[in-house]
């Protein structure tokens, strides 16, 4: 029996895939007997009900009048140090490089070298922010000084090395899904609220930022809807949403598009879809495509970033060059008009999500990294997941 660990987890608690991955990981580690301390500015939105060995420590920021910008980073670093000291943490696992890795390094300086720092890179912390000269050097510092660094795709590892000239090892830790939550749900009663019998449902879920190319989502849908009866369900909110709404109106598509806003029960919502659309400009992994895959829904997307490591072209979806909405629409029509092909893709999706990206496997990979940085000789078998 390996020694249970005391782990501090910091993430962005209220948005995005990195927060989801960090929270789900914390819950799974707690189930395995580890003690988890979330150190964040608010309760992670996916934390849900009470868990015996999960604790939450709120970061409070001083708003003293001399501060033009309240110093969140310093408050976070101090809180990490206090929690590490009071709870005798073994390590801090921070998700997203800035400012979390830097704060963890400061906490380590205050607490002592025994406190280890594991940093997980999720995406735009590298692909966007590491291109920003005002942040590049400090992101490099955070990565070089962490005791272990993980990234959510091979492509993100490649880009991190290229952009920041990093030679230190980076472990690959893909996103994962819990098959107790993500499976095809029975939506037979819900579906008639969004589509007539015989209509297909295309879906896009995101934070509607420019990297998601949500304008392409509408273009793809318009091309599909011109050929087969279909509806588009848009889930999430973000800065591009008003522009997208205007585009939908201008194209006369409003009666075919449903805006669902932010949704908590993603598995239920995703199960409504026949296809997921993910035409991103940048996408280090694409958690939403994995969630769809686990519910038996193929993805039509771009070849950006790590998407091809998840979506196997011609097996669990189709991928096209970024911006090629004609090709993406052709693929969508092909899949939606061939029942046998669609059934094969659906089966392949379910199998791939359950075997290659199951929670047991990825959680064990993280645990191995934790024991390694702590210098503990532990035996953590990485289980083969069953379909």
Among 8, 142, 286, 317, binds ligand GMT (CB under 6 A): 286
Transcribe 79-113 into DSSP letters: HHHHHHHHHT-SEEEEESSTTHHHHHHHHHHHH-T
Q: Binding to ligand GMT by residue 124, rule CB under 6 A?
A: yes
Question: Strands 116-121 and 200-205: what pairing?
Answer: unpaired
Residue nearer to ligand GMT on the CB measure, 96 or 345: 96
The helix/strand/coil state of 2 is coil
Q: How many residues bind ligand GMT (CB under 6 A)?
A: 19
Q: How far is CA 350 from CA 69, 249, 309, 365, 386, in A?
A: 47, 36, 16, 22, 11
122 near ligand GMT, judged by CB under 6 A: yes
Applying CB under 6 A, which of residues 17, 99, 236, 298 lies at the interface with ligand GMT?
A: 17
| Interface of this chain with ligand GMT, residues 166 to 185, rule: CB under 6 A | 175
In the bound complex, what is the minimum distance in angstroms from residue 19's beta carbon to ligand GMT?
Answer: 6
Kindly state the smallest distance separating residue 16's Cβ from ligand GMT, in Å: 3
* C-beta atoms surrounding 186 within 10 Å: 9
62 in Cβ contact with 69 (< 8 Å): no
C-beta of 14 vs 109, nearer to ligand GMT: 14
3-state helix, strand, coil in the chain (%, to 5): 45, 15, 40
Give, in order, the Cα–Cα distances in Å from 149 to each of 95, 268, 292: 10, 33, 27
Binding of ligand GMT at residue 287 (CB under 6 A)?
yes
Binding residue for ligand GMT, selected from 8, 13, 16, 296, defined by CB under 6 A: 16
What does the per-residue mask of binding to ligand GMT show for 246-285, with x meaning CB under 6 A? Answer: ------------------------------------xxxx
Q: What pairing do the DSSP bridges indicate for beta strands 6-10 and 91-95?
A: parallel
Q: Is 152 in the site for ligand GMT (CB under 6 A)?
A: yes
Give me the residues that bind ligand GMT (CB under 6 A), please: 12, 16-19, 21, 122-125, 152, 175, 211, 282-287
């Amino acid at each position: 029996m390996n020694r249970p660990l005391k782990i501090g987890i910091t993430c962005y608690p209220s948005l995005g895939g990195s927060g989801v991955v960090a929270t789900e990981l914390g819950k799974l580690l707690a189930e395995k007997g580890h003690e988890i301390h979330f150190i964040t500015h608010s309760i992670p939105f996916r934390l849900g009900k009470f868990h015996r060995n999960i604790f939450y420590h709120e970061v409070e920021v001083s708003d003293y009048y001399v501060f033009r910008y309240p110093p969140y980073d310093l408050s976070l670093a101090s809180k990490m140090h206090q929690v590490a000291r009071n709870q005798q943490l073994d390590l801090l696992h921070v998700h997203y490089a800035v400012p979390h890795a830097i704060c963890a390094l400061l906490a380590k300086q205050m607490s002592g070298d025994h406190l280890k720092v594991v940093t997980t890179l999720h995406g735009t912390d590298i692909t966007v922010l590491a291109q920003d000269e005002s942040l590049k050097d400090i992101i490099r510092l955070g990565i070089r000084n962490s005791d272990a660094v993980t990234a959510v795709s091979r492509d993100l590892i490649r880009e991190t090395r290229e952009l920041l000239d990093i030679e230190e090892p980076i472990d690959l830790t893909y996103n994962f899904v819990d098959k107790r939550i993500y499976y095809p749900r029975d939506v037979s009663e819900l579906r008639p609220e969004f589509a007539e019998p015989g209509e297909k449902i295309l879906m896009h879920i995101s934070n509607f930022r420019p990297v998601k190319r949500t304008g392409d989502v509408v273009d793809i849908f318009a091309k599909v809807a011109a050929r087969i009866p279909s509806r588009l369900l848009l889930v999430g909110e973000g800065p591009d949403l008003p522009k997208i709404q205007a585009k939908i109106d201008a194209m006369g598509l409003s009666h075919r598009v449903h805006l669902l806003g932010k949704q908590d029960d993603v598995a239920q919502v995703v199960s409504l879809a026949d296809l997921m659309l993910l035409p991103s400009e940048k996408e280090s992994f694409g958690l939403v495509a994995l969630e769809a895959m686990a519910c038996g829904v193929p993805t039509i997307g771009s070849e950006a970033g790590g998407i091809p490591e998840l979506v196997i072209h011609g097996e669990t979806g189709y991928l096209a060059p970024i911006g090629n909405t004609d090709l993406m629409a052709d693929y969508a029509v092909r899949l939606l008009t061939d029942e046998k092909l669609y059934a094969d893709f659906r089966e392949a999706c379910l199998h791939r999500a359950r075997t290659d990206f199951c929670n047991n496997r990825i959680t064990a990979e993280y645990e191995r990294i934790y024991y390694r940085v702590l210098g503990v000789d532990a035996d953590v078998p990485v289980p083969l997941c069953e379909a």
